[in-house]
């Protein structure tokens, strides 16, 4: 079983829809990252969370440490949001990182 599980693997939405991507992990962590990878491969860090909730524009990330679960929400989705979204955890005490398999999001106009 992978240490970091993401769902869904693929997601297709219509422009304007509210989107949720989920991440569950099984190891003790010091932080969780949500990353965005566009076609062409560049990776951008969206959020780093160790508790609670963060918001940046139309993106919201939440984490529940007790349940070992995090969600990434996109409000009013747009075709430019189409990308692969990756959940990554920093393993507690050693900063090592483990990745989910990613969620491929396609937003249609």
Partner 1 sequence: GAGVSQSPSNKVTEKGKDVELRCDPISGHTALYWYRQSLGQGLEFLIYFQGNSAPDKSGLPSDRFSAERTGGSVSTLTIQRTQQEDSAVYLCASSPALRTGGSEAFFGQGTRLTVV
Chosen residue from 12, 44, 55, 78 binding partner 1 by CB under 8 A? 44
Pick between residue 14 and residue 30 the one whose CB is nearest to partner 1.
30
Residue 10 binding partner 1, by CB under 8 A: no
- Site for partner 1 (CB under 8 A): which residue of 13, 29, 61, 83? 29
3-state secondary structure the chain: CCCEEEECCEEEEECCCCEEEEEEECCCEEEEEEEEECCCCCEEEEEEECCEEEEECCEEEEEECCCCEEEEEECCCCHHHCEEEEEEEEECCCCCEEECCCEEEEEEC
For residues 66 and 85, what is the distance between their CA atoms, to the nearest angstrom?
A: 23
> Of residues 62-101, which lie at the interface with partner 1 (CB under 8 A)?
86, 88, 90, 94-101
User: Binding residue for partner 1 (CB under 8 A) from 32, 61, 83, 107?
Assistant: 32
Nearer to partner 1, 1 or 109 (CB): 1
Binding site for partner 1 (CB under 8 A): 29-33, 35, 41-45, 48, 50, 86, 88, 90, 94-102
């Amino acid at each position: 079983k992978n240490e970091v599980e993401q769902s869904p693997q693929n997601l297709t939405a219509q422009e304007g829809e509210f989107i949720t991507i989920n991440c569950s992990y099984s190891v003790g962590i010091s932080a969780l990252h949500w990353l965005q990878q566009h076609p062409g491969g560049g990776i951008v860090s969206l959020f780093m969370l160790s508790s609670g909730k963060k918001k940046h524009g139309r993106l919201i990330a939440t984490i529940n440490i007790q349940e070992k679960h995090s969600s990434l929400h996109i409000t009013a989705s747009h075709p430019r949001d189409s990308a692969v979204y990756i959940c990554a955890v920093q393993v507690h005490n050693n900063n090592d990182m483990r990745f989910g398999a990613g969620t491929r999001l396609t937003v249609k106009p």
